[in-house]
């Protein structure tokens, strides 16, 4: 009997030990749900299981019994340690919207509402079953007031509105790790007068930096900043801050971000941080007062006090004494046509007080010679920044724009931004997709006349843009009828300009079948046609004496039209180490031919552009179609240690498998830096003729945009004979003189 009694007593004691110390807490409440889906979360922080059987839920209106939900499978009222239980009504839709783990108990009340509906303004919730009791009292000022948020409990037992919409049923609370002890929050930096609009959208405009010096992370939503006026509030929200979850030892920035109330005065004002709104019901956490704010600079907190510094939003403050002024050039592009170039010069203060500033500038060509000089500001007081816009009229070429701050009086901590340099190019063909053709000049003499049977040359410039057609034809005509042979060329490379010197051979008109008068030189290229008028008058009697021989000679000359080559761009001089371009223009004959071409600079037996490699290291191979014109580009670099003086530029051209290599040799001068002279020197040589180059007139230009001169397409034997007459006369005269001297 005694044994039975002791066993019964032990069982009673064990039950008492299991449950007398049992504790369960209300952990989360959805009291004002948008869809009326109210619920309460319980949490068991103990190491023992708690039996919720026989429990009740009481609020200010009613008491309900805790029972198994009708929809729940494997219902249990035993709440395991470190687990959650969700209390809902029998008609809840909570589980349709959340995936809640099987370890979480699904418990209901015995009717269709929690306590006849939880209060939206305030309420007191009590849950108990005789072995435990937990109570939670709330009101709408605590948060979760119809905004799809819940009230959650953190690890310190403090209640706050959930960070996550809908709350965290059956999960760790979103505010669990965050302290609501705001005593460690301080204002560490304030931007009172930013560049631009004070109420601009973040990250521009006014802002305030906060720092958490405590050991715990702090959730700062609903804290409020005020200026000097108690009604000018700025709530801390997810929209206007870098982060609301402020970790230990971390910074966050609160931006004004278009707010209409909060507005800091540049003359005198105060920034205050409170726990909420209104001020009368909340606690002041920190404040700073200031006067005479400087545009673009912030007030920053240091151990020794507050100082004006370069802004460091979200980072540790850095004290910088002295000043910092900068200069910049704004341009929409760096390549322009001839009339659309403009730029804006900006000088401004990054740090320090206003100063009297002097700025100077130049525009230099590629020779280092100034073509424009500027004095935008001379000892002018500048508070924040000044701007000036210029539209210089520059010729085609490459230029350097250089401006600098001259003689700044304060101790500038960064002089690297006291000057600015920009390179610009003026190119009439920039982004020019349309092709064009122009007859620059006909070499007829001052009277602009030619005789029948004459040969004259015309300088034309063809620009090929975004064009697939390649044919270029040149002829003379009168009244719609051709009165010359047609010269045909092929140009395949796009976006290049070709200077061409075209010979025109007029018909002899020995029978006077065509009347004298006005004629047209016609150039037809890629479907474009251009014309230039000249006069044809008189028949060349010498040509007509033996008409048949003349015709035969012309036919042979046309068939033997010889391919030519010329350098259309090279610098006249370079400095040691300079990289420079050259362009070689080739004109092919009547059949498809491959060409091998290379170039270098030398003197004596040494190459000064080979960098230790072979002279043909930059060899290019091209295949030209019949009558095709092709421009071949080379980039050469003169040795850094080359001495000043004259050197030779050599271009070698090998046609097909021919053993004979044709050459162009020109002089190039090495000069000290900034004394270079870049010239376009057109040269022409015919295969089978002397390697001496014939110089044609050409305009100076920069970096390979030749303007005049060109390839001579063909030249008649009669014209060649006329060119030899002065040489023959000179040789004959010399022989006569020698004979007379010998006789004496």
Compute the distance between CA of residue 626 and CA of residue 628 in angstroms, rounded to an integer: 5
- Report if residue 548 sits inside a domain: yes
Stronger pLDDT, 691 or 131, i.e. the higher one: 131
- Report if residue 174 sits inside a domain: no
737 phi and psi angles, rounded to 5 deg: -60, -40
Q: Report CA Rg, the chain.
A: 47
- Report if residue 314 sits inside a domain: no
> What range does the domain containing 736 cover?
718-744
- The tally of domains found in the chain comes to 6
**Same domain (yes/no): 72, 93:** yes
**Same domain (yes/no): 646, 674:** yes
**Same domain (yes/no): 506, 611:** no
Residue at a domain's end among 640, 671, 687: 687
**Same domain (yes/no): 641, 531:** no
CATH number of the domain that residue 146 is part of: 2.60.40.1260
CATH number of the domain that residue 376 is part of: 2.60.40.10
- Report if residue 470 sits inside a domain: yes
**Same domain (yes/no): 143, 32:** yes
**Same domain (yes/no): 568, 550:** no
Lay out the sheet containing 385-390: strands in order across.
Answer: 324-330, 343-351, 385-390
- Report if residue 331 sits inside a domain: yes
CATH number of the domain that residue 219 is part of: 2.60.40
pLDDT at 156: 87
Q: What is the pTM of this model?
A: 0.45
Residue at a domain's end among 276, 309, 342: 309
For residue 99, give Cα distances in angstroms to 38, 144, 329, 535, 617. 17, 22, 58, 96, 72
SS3 call for 559: helix
pLDDT at 550: 60
**Same domain (yes/no): 508, 610:** no
SS3 call for 5: helix
- Report if residue 82 sits inside a domain: yes
**Same domain (yes/no): 144, 28:** yes
pLDDT average, residue stretch 528-537: 94
Q: pLDDT by residue (tens digit) across 67-116?
A: 999 888 878 899 999 999 999 999 999 998 888 888 899 999 998 889 88
Compute the distance between CA of residue 36 and CA of residue 649 in angstroms, rounded to an integer: 91
**Same domain (yes/no): 88, 200:** no
Compute the distance between CA of residue 578 and CA of residue 638 in angstroms, rounded to an integer: 6
**Same domain (yes/no): 361, 419:** yes
CA-nearest of 131, 113, 139, 120 to 57 is 113
- Report if residue 17 sits inside a domain: no
- Report if residue 203 sits inside a domain: yes
Residue 416 pLDDT > 70, yes or no?
A: yes
Residue at a domain's end among 511, 533, 559: 559
**Same domain (yes/no): 154, 39:** yes
Q: pLDDT by residue (tens digit) across 17-65?
A: 443 445 899 999 999 998 889 999 999 998 899 999 999 999 998 999 9
Residue 456 pLDDT > 70, yes or no?
A: yes
**Same domain (yes/no): 200, 268:** yes
Residue 711 pLDDT > 70, yes or no?
A: no
Our CA dihedral for 536, 541, 546, 550, rounded to 10 degrees, sits at: -30
How many CA atoms does the CB half-sphere of 278 hold within 13 Å? 4
């Amino acid at each position: 009997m005694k044994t039975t009694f002791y066993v019964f007593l032990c069982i009673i004691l064990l039950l008492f030990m299991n449950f007398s110390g049992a504790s369960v807490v209300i952990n989360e409440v959805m009291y004002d749900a948008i869809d009326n889906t109210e619920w309460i979360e319980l949490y068991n922080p103990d190491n023992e299981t708690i039996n919720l059987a026989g429990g009740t839920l009481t609020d200010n209106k009613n008491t309900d019994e805790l029972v198994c939900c009708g929809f729940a499978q494997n219902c249990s009222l035993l709440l395991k340690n470190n687990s959650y239980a969700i209390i809902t009504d029998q008609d809840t839709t909570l589980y349709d919207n959340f995936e809640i783990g099987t370890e979480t108990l699904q418990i209901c009340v015995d009717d269709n509402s929690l306590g006849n509906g939880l209060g939206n303004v305030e309420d007191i919730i009590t849950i108990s079953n005789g072995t435990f009791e937990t109570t939670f009292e709330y009101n709408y000022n605590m948060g979760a007031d119809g905004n799809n948020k819940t009230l959650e409990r953190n690890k310190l037992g403090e209640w706050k509105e959930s960070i996550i919409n809908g709350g965290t049923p059956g999960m760790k609370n979103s505010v669990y790790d965050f302290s609501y002890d705001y005593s460690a929050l301080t204002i560490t930096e304030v931007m009172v007068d930013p560049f631009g609009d004070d109420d601009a959208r973040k990250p521009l405009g006014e802002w305030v930096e906060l720092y958490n010096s405590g050991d715990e992370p702090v959730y700062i939503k609903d804290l409020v900043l005020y200026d000097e006026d108690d009604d000018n509030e700025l709530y801390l929200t997810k929209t206007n801050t870098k982060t609301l979850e402020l970790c230990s030892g971390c910074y966050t920035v609160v931006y004004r971000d278009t707010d209409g109330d909060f507005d800091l005065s540049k003359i005198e004002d105060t920034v205050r941080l409170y726990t909420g709104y209104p001020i009368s019901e909340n606690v002041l956490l920190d404040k700073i007062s200031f006067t005479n704010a400087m545009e673009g600079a912030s007030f920053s907190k240091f151990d020794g006090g507050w100082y004006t510094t370069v802004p460091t939003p979200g980072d540790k403050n850095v004290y910088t004494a002295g000043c910092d002024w900068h200069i910049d050039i704004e341009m929409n592009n760096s390549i322009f046509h001839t009339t659309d170039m403009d730029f804006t010069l900006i000088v401004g203060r990054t740090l320090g007080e206003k100063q009297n500033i002097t700025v100077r500038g130049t525009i230099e060509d590629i020779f280092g010679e100034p073509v424009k000089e500027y004095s935008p500001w001379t000892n002018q007081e500048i508070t924040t920044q000044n701007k000036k816009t210029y539209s210089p009229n520059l010729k085609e070429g490459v230029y350097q724009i250089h401006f600098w701050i001259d003689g700044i009086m304060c101790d500038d901590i960064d002089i690297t931004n006291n000057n600015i340099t920009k390179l610009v190019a003026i190119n009439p063909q920039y982004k020019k997709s349309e092709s064009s053709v122009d007859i620059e000049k006909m070499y007829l003499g001052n009277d602009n006349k030619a005789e029948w049977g004459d040969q004259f040359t015309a300088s034309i410039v063809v620009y090929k843009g975004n064009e697939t057609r390649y044919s270029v034809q040149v002829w003379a005509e009168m009244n719609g009828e051709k009165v010359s042979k047609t010269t045909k060329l092929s140009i395949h490379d796009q976006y290049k300009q070709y200077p061409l010197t075209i010979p025109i051979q007029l018909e002899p008109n020995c029978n006077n079948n065509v009347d004298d008068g006005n004629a047209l030189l016609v150039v037809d290229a890629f479907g474009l046609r251009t014309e230039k008028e000249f006069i044809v008058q008189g028949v060349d009697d010498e040509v007509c004496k033996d008409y048949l021989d003349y015709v035969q000679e012309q036919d042979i000359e046309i068939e033997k039209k010889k391919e030519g080559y010329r350098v259309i761009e090279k610098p006249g001089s370079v400095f040691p180490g300079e990289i420079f371009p050259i362009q070689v223009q080739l004109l092919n004959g009547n059949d498809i031919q491959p060409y091998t071409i290379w170039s270098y600079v030398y003197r004596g037996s040494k190459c000064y552009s080979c960098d230790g490699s072979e002279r043909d290291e930059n060899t290019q191979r091209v295949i030209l179609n019949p009558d095709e014109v092709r421009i071949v580009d080379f980039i050469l670099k003169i040795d850094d240690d080359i001495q000043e003086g004259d050197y030779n530029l050599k271009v070698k051209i090998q046609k097909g498998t021919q053993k004979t290599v044709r050459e162009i040799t020109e002089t190039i001068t090495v000069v000290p830096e900034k004394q270079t002279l870049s010239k376009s020197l057109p040269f022409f040589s015919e295969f089978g003729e002397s390697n001496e180059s014939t110089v044609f007139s050409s305009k100076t230009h920069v970096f390979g945009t030749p303007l005049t001169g060109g390839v001579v397409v063909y030249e008649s034997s009669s014209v060649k004979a006329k060119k030899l007459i002065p040489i023959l006369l000179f040789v004959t005269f010399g022989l006569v003189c020698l004979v007379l001297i010998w006789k004496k």
